[in-house]
């Protein structure tokens, strides 16, 4: 995300829609979210694409969404996204990786691990509801050194004040639980 991407005010139209590049039956549809109790939570935030209207519009494809608790999406997660935009203005370009996480802390302990992870799915297309979400932010400091921080938050409402320091996790921790190498 660059400072330029946050400026110039491309309009937010909130035109959520199925991704036309994915076949029916293998993609989320608007009906999957209706009366589900979950928001369509952006993974790549629309507010990070203010420079280019086409890019902003593409953030409303359901392939960029995950079912998110309204109390997370509209409050704590929103504030975390706003914080990362402040970092863009402070450090310049940052790289941000956001995604769903299916995680059960019991699986970390050999005494309680059973290899089974329970999760919810919504709608006719059985859109999986993540148990958690992660966000990794990487930036280059003024002296040229890199710095990175990772956050993991459970997919549930949070009370104010949001103490984001409580949700910091090492990037290695996120990698081990997602199977991804950042």
Closest among 146, 72, 133, 142 to 103, alpha carbons compared: 133
Please name the residues in contact with 149: beta carbons below 8 A apart, sequence gap of 6 or more: 136, 137, 168
Residue pointed to by tokens 């935009």: 85
Phi-psi region of 83 (alpha: psi -120 to 50; beta: other; left: phi over 0): alpha
Which of these is catalytic: 5, 33, 39, 42? 42
d(CA 125, CA 140): 41
d(CA 131, CA 69): 10
Task: Let me know if 42 is a catalytic residue.
Answer: yes
By annotation, the residues acting in catalysis are 42
């Amino acid at each position: 995300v660059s400072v330029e991407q946050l400026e110039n005010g491309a309009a937010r139209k909130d035109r959520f829609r199925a991704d036309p590049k994915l076949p029916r039956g293998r993609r989320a549809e608007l009906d999957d979210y209706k009366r589900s109790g979950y928001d369509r939570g952006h993974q790549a935030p629309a507010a990070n694409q203010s420079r280019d209207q086409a890019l902003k519009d593409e953030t409303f494809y359901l392939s960029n969404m995950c079912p998110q608790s309204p109390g997370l999406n509209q409050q704590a997660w929103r504030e975390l996204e706003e914080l990362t935009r402040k970092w863009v203005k402070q450090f310049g370009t940052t790289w941000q990786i956001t995604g769903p996480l299916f995680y059960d802390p019991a699986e970390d302990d050999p005494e309680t691990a059973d290899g089974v992870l329970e999760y919810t799915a919504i709608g006719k297309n059985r859109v999986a509801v993540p148990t958690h979400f992660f966000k990794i932010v990487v930036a280059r400091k003024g002296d040229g050194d890199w710095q990175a921080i990772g956050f993991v938050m459970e997919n549930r409402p949070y009370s104010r004040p949001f103490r984001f320091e409580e949700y910091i996790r090492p990037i290695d921790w996120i990698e081990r639980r997602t199977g991804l190498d950042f």
